[in-house]
Copies of this chain bind each other. A is one copy, B any other.
Amino acid sequence: MNSKTHNHLDIGSILSEKGISRTNFRTKLVNYFYSSNKSLSVDDILKYFNNSINKVTVYRSLVSFENNGLIHKVPDTNNLMRYSLCRKEECSPISHNHNHGHFICYSCNQTFCLEGVKYPEIISMKGFYVKEFKLTAEGYCKECYKN
């Protein structure tokens, strides 16, 4: 078990550590995030729980997770929101630091953070005062392109 793998106990304590209430649903939800390694839409989550949970609860849990530095938003090209686990190095309950784009695979839905290029710098060089930006790319990842 490497350092990036978490068992149930670990994940439960992640919630506590981040100051998120350790409810039944939220524990299962954070487990879903860790086990799927994909960006999740609200619809993904509702289906995963067989619509046994109210969508309002899902939205509010996601807001809480985001505010506490556990996940971040990943908009896709169809104006639909997805959510993806934050990396420890970048995010904390205090602030997010996602100055990079995301790639989403049509086939496997995995989400890749595009760290290589720091977009805000590129843009501010042109004389714009940038407050927000987002880059999303979609297509097929290496693995899925083979098949």
Contact = CB atoms under 8 A, between A and B. Distances in A.
A77 B75 CA distance: 9
Interface of A is mostly: strand
Given A112-B128, A116-B126, A123-B103, A136 B138 contact: no
Contacts of A133: 77, 135-138
A14 interface: no
A128 B116 contact: no
A56 interface: no
Contacts of A126: 114, 116
Interface of A: 75, 77, 79, 81, 101, 103, 106, 112, 114, 116-117, 119-120, 122-123, 126-142, 145
